[in-house]
Every structure is written in C-alpha cells, then in structure tokens.
Amino acid sequence: MAEFDEKVLDAFLEKQDKLFPEPVAETREEAEEFLSDAMAVVVDSIEEAMDYLDEAGMDITEMGKEDVEAAEEIFAVGDGRYLIVDV
C-alpha cells in the first residue's frame, strides 16, 4: 500500500467532493485505502502535476497552471504539493 501522509489524506477528505458526488472516504484510513487502490500520486509542484498529466496523455497544451489546479482530479495539499487522483 502506498504511503500518504496526514496532510495529503486530510486534503483529500476535505476536497473529495470536487471529484465525487458523494464521499468515498470518511476517515484517514479509508482515504488511504481508496487513494492506494486508485493509484493516486503526490507531486511536489504544479509543474510536476502538468508533466504527469501530459505523460498520461491529457492534452494540456492550452491549459495554464490555474486550469490544471482547477481540474477535478487535482487536489492542492496546501504545502506546494498536489495529489492527483486518476479515476
């Protein structure tokens, strides 16, 4: 199982409604299990998030940093890192 620190788990729990109509997790443990199953990744910057999306085949050529931050699968952790949940 991948390791997600408390800050990442809390960011996901707080903002999961950005991606899902109903909560998929209510506790840190449930969030960690869900994120591991979803093969979510944490990157250190919005630039790394953009690189990840580009490598995953998403056309981001006309997307700016703000557009990427607003994407439903991108969750700002609050410390400069971003959680990417690719469902």
Least confident interval from 2-6, 27-31, 40-44, 49-53:
2-6
Cα(45)–Cα(48) distance, integer angstroms: 5
Indicate the residue type of 7: K
Residue 2 has pLDDT above 90, yes or no: no
- Please give the DSSP secondary-structure letter assigned to residue 86: -
Residue 1 has pLDDT above 50, yes or no: no
| Residue extents of the structural domains in the chain | 6-84
Please give the average per-residue pLDDT across 67-87, as a whole number.
94
